[in-house]
């Protein structure tokens, strides 16, 4: 890191020099950590639009140039050549594995897919229509009860076991949540299948008949998981780091991340895209909804468009767009008109001045929802799919955060705008 400084000039000639840190790549970062101690002021940055919360060597994003790299490898190369499991290894361990390292890692994940039988009882306690994200968050939280004794965060071996359990068991929990919703028996995992194939099996197989895995479907899921695997300090990852920074059990921190991901401005967007397409209903209604999205008095937004970081294009969207066409071609899904509507909406918005001026492009979730739907995955499961991919990013960031010898509990400050001091008024006098 360089020793450049940033000079802050406050009221009454009050000056301060703030160190500037330079990362491997990306914008410089002004270190304001001494500001309150020395000058008694806080910084104010709602939504953390200009704030770096930590140092990290996991993922790099350049929103202007549409760059996304995991451990230095461009996501385009990983999408073309790697598998989700290999990307998991890369994110967790920092480098690409040799063949034997990959085989050993994949075997470990495949051998930990089963849930403790007692955990299945949780699903009996949910209502049949419980949202699968709520089930996922609750059951992952419950892992802190099951695996409490083997979870000493200062023990690297325990941290590895935690990582393997999250990666291996999340698909099983996700599939169990889905089976509860549709009233089908829970399907046990099959360790002879790879990550994405096994997920398809647990979601769609039934004990009464054989289930044939569609290779295009498995390939599409694997690609989506690679593209969702990490995205540096996004809302859910920051939530995991923040919850974990108190020393909380990491399964609980992951459960908190799942809850954060569920919101429609984050992982819930892919679900919201499909809801929006159903609401639009027909190609003839597109211009009406484009106008609604542009109308500041109307809360309607074009879901799946825009991104906090990518202000040029979302590189994940470019990759997944191709897969979207491949899946629609190979699977010829029943509700094809919905997909045609989505593709027409994409074209109209891309040509519209409002969207062009504000750099609003389709994000990864615009296409992911369409692919999931074509695979037969219901809308309520879309964000669950996102969570499966992102789980490795959450774990990698939790490990990085907890291994930092200078780590502190995350505790932001505020700009207080409430009442000044006032005296308590007896209830009869109010
Ligand atoms: N439709 C219409 N207008 C939009 C949209 C949209 N989807 N997105 C942004 N805008 C407009 C805003 O109204 C604002 O206009 P203004 O400058 O005239 O006030 C401008 O573009 C900037 O938008 P902000 O909300 O300030 O941008 P921000 O970076 O805070 O928000 C976000 C990014 C939340 C993703 C936003 O674009 C959005 O709500 N998109 C739809 C939801 C979505 O697809 N979320 C998925 C994100 S990807 C992910 O989580 C994996």
Going residue by residue through the chain, which has 430 residues, state the pLDDT in tens, using 9 for 90 and above: 447 899 998 887 789 999 999 999 999 999 999 999 999 999 999 999 999 999 999 999 998 888 999 999 999 999 999 999 999 999 999 999 999 999 999 999 999 999 999 999 999 999 999 999 999 999 999 999 988 777 788 899 999 999 999 999 999 999 999 999 999 999 999 999 999 999 999 999 999 999 999 999 999 999 999 999 999 999 999 999 999 999 999 999 999 999 999 998 888 888 888 889 999 999 999 999 999 999 999 999 999 999 888 887 889 988 998 898 899 888 877 777 888 898 899 999 989 999 999 989 888 888 888 899 999 999 899 999 999 999 999 999 999 999 999 899 999 999 999 999 999 999 999 9
- Residue in 228, 266, 314, 352 annotated catalytic: 266
Q: What is residue 205's DSSP assignment?
A: -
Distance between Cα 360 and ligand 1 center (Å): 8
Q: Convert the pLDDT of each residue in 304-357 to its tens digit.
A: 999 888 887 889 988 998 898 899 888 877 777 888 898 899 999 989 999 999
Q: d(Cα 221, Cα 82) in Å, to the nearest integer?
A: 13
DSSP 3-state of 327 = helix
Let me know how long the chain is.
430
8 A C-beta contact, residue 88 and residue 229: yes
| Residue 68 tokens, joined | 């996304």
Nearest-CA residue for atom 20 of ligand 1 = 358
Q: Convert the pLDDT of each residue in 148-173 to its tens digit.
A: 777 788 899 999 999 999 999 999 99
Nearest-CA residue for atom 24 of ligand 1 = 308
DSSP 3-state of 98 = coil
Angle at 357 between CA 351 and CA 359, to 5 degrees: 85
8 A C-beta contact, residue 384 and residue 130: no
Mutation probe of ligand 1 site: the residue of 50, 66, 306, 319 with most atoms within 8 A of C-beta: 306
Distance between Cα 95 and ligand 1 center (Å): 34
Give the pLDDT score at 333.
Answer: 76
Distance between Cα 350 and ligand 1 center (Å): 15
Burial 6-34 (b: 16+ CB within 10 A, else e): eeeeeeeeeebebbeeeeeeeeebbebee
Q: d(Cα 72, Cα 96) in Å, to the nearest integer?
A: 11
Tell me the backbone φ, ψ of residue 56, rounded to 5 degrees: -150, 145
Give the pLDDT score at 1.
Answer: 46
Bridge partner list, 29: 21
Tell me the backbone φ, ψ of residue 126, rounded to 5 degrees: -80, 150
Burial 268-281 (b: 16+ CB within 10 A, else e): bbbbbbbebbeebe
Angle at 52 between CA 47 and CA 57, to 5 degrees: 130
8 A C-beta contact, residue 70 and residue 58: yes
- Residue in 230, 314, 352, 365 annotated catalytic: 365
21 is catalytic: no
Give the pLDDT score at 22.
Answer: 94
Helix H or strand E segment including 57: none
Nearest atom within ligand 1 for CA of residue 228? 51
Q: Measured in Å, how far apart are the chain's first and last C-alpha atoms?
A: 58
Give the pLDDT score at 281.
Answer: 92
Give the pLDDT score at 324.
Answer: 87
Give the other-Cβ count within 10 Å of 330's Cβ: 15
Distance between Cα 305 and ligand 1 center (Å): 7
Give the pLDDT score at 266.
Answer: 83
Nearest-CA residue for atom 41 of ligand 1 = 303
By CB neighbour count within 10 A (0-12 exposed, 13-18 middle, 19+ buried), where does 78 fall? buried
365 is catalytic: yes
Nearest atom within ligand 1 for CA of residue 314? 48
Nearest-CA residue for atom 27 of ligand 1 = 308
| Residue 15 tokens, joined | 């000056």
DSSP string, 65-80: TTEEEETTEEHHHHHH
> For ligand 1, which residues put their CB under 6 angstroms from it?
265-267, 269, 293, 301-308, 358, 360, 363-365
The pTM (predicted TM-score) of the whole model is 0.90
| β-strand pairing of 5-9 with 15-21 | antiparallel
By CB neighbour count within 10 A (0-12 exposed, 13-18 middle, 19+ buried), where does 212 fall? exposed
Residue 113: partners with Cβ closer than 8 Å, 6 or more residues away:
168, 169, 171, 172, 189, 191, 198
Give the pLDDT score at 312.
Answer: 79
Nearest-CA residue for atom 37 of ligand 1 = 306
Give the other-Cβ count within 10 Å of 416's Cβ: 7
- Residue in 201, 307, 314, 352 annotated catalytic: 307
Nearest atom within ligand 1 for CA of residue 234? 50
307 is catalytic: yes
Helix H or strand E segment including 62: strand 59-62
């Amino acid at each position: 890191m360089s020793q450049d400084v940033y000079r802050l000039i406050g009221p009454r000639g009050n000056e301060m020099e703030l160190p500037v840190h330079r990362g491997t790549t990306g914008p410089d970062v002004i270190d304001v950590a001494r500001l309150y101690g020395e000058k008694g002021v806080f910084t104010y940055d709602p939504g953390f639009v200009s704030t770096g919360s930590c140092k990290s060597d996991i993922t790099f994003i350049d929103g202007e140039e549409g760059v996304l790299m995991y451990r230095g490898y461009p996501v385009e190369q990983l999408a073309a050549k790697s598998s989700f499991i290999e990307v998991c290894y890369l994110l967790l361990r920092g480098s690409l594995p040799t063949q034997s390292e990959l085989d050993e890692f994949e075997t470990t994940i495949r051998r930990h897919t089963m849930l403790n039988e007692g955990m299945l009882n949780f699903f009996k306690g949910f209502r049949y229509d419980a949202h699968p994200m709520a089930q996922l968050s609750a059951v992952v939280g419950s892992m802190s009860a099951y695996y409490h004794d083997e979870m000493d965060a200062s023990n690297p071996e325990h941290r590895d076991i935690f990582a393997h359990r999250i990666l291996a068991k999340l698909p099983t929990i996700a599939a169990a949540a889905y089976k509860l919703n549709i009233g089908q028996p829970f399907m046990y995992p099959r360790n002879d299948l790879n990550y994405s194939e096994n997920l398809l099996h647990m979601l769609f197989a039934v004990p009464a008949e054989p289930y044939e895995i569609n290779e295009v479907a498995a390939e599409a899921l694997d690609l989506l998981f690679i593209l969702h695997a990490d995205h540096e300090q996004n809302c859910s990852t920051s939530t995991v780091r923040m919850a974990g920074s108190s020393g909380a059990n990491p399964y609980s921190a992951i459960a908190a991340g799942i809850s954060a991901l569920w919101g429609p401005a984050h992982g819930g967007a892919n679900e919201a895209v499909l809801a929006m397409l159903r609401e639009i209903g027909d190609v003839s209604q597109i211009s009406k909804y484009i106008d609604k999205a542009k109308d500041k008095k109307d809360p309607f937004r074009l879901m799946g468009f825009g991104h906090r970081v990518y202000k040029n294009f979302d590189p994940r969207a470019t990759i997944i767009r191709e897969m979207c066409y491949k899946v629609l071609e190979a699977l010829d899904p029943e509700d094809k008109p919905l997909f045609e509507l989505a593709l027409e909406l994409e074209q109209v918005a891309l040509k519209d001045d409002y969207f062009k001026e504000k750099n609003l492009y389709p994000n990864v979730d615009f296409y992911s929802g369409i692919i999931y739907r074509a695979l037969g995955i219901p809308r309520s499961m879309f964000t669950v799919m996102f969570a499966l991919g992102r789980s490795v990013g959450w774990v990698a960031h939790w490990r990085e955060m907890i291994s930092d010898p200078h780590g502190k509990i995350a505790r932001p400050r505020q700009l207080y705008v409430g009442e000044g001091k006032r005296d308590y008024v007896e209830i009869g006098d109010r």
